Amino acid sequence: MNTWIALLRGINVSGQKKIQMSDLKAVFDSCDFSGVQTYIQSGNVVFVTKESSRKKLIDKIEKSLQASFSYSIPVVLREADTFTKAVEAHPWLKKKGIDPKAIYFSFARDVEGGKLKKVEETSAVGDSYLTQGEQIYLYCPGGFGKTKFNNNYFEKKLGIVATTRNLNTCNKLINLAGV
């Protein structure tokens, strides 16, 4: 059995694509997943399945979401162990004097060869990022809501789907996954 962490892109943001977590859990339960747990309203789901193909799981989840809610919801998916390693690898976690509330993770999907291309850096006062593997590590002292380095920025530059979570949410998902 494999434990997975699903991150849904763009639900419950500014009143758009509103989904109750109980309804979201029901969709994942209907996919024959076990141990389904949701965390906060931004579309975070931990579940267990014997399926090991990320692509098959994404297809199954997205089709089930479309059927249940009548609109498309992109899903970014990581095995719990891979998710944990990605979170632990954030370069700003090891720096002294860094506010943990300024640490963010953009998880990408459909990355060719499993590695993001370099993005030509654009200036953003105080904000920094680093691409590594399928993640974009962000340091945004002014908060993610104010940075130029948001999902739309990276999605346009790289032609990918991405969704961002803060350090607290990532740690909570790791805890729920039991990793």
Range list of H helices, 14-53: 21-30
105 and 129 in contact (C-beta within 8 Å)? no
For CATH 3.30.70.1280, the residue range(s) in the chain are 2-81
**Mean pLDDT, residues 7-19:** 79
96-113 pLDDT, tens digit each: 889 999 999 999 998 877
- DSSP-assigned letter for residue 162: E
30-84 pLDDT, tens digit each: 999 999 999 998 899 999 999 999 999 999 999 999 999 999 999 999 999 999 9
* pTM for this predicted structure: 0.92
168 and 156 in contact (C-beta within 8 Å)? no
Among the four given CATH numbers 1.10.1740.10, 3.30.70.1280, 3.60.40.10, 3.40.50.1980, the one describing domain 2-81: 3.30.70.1280
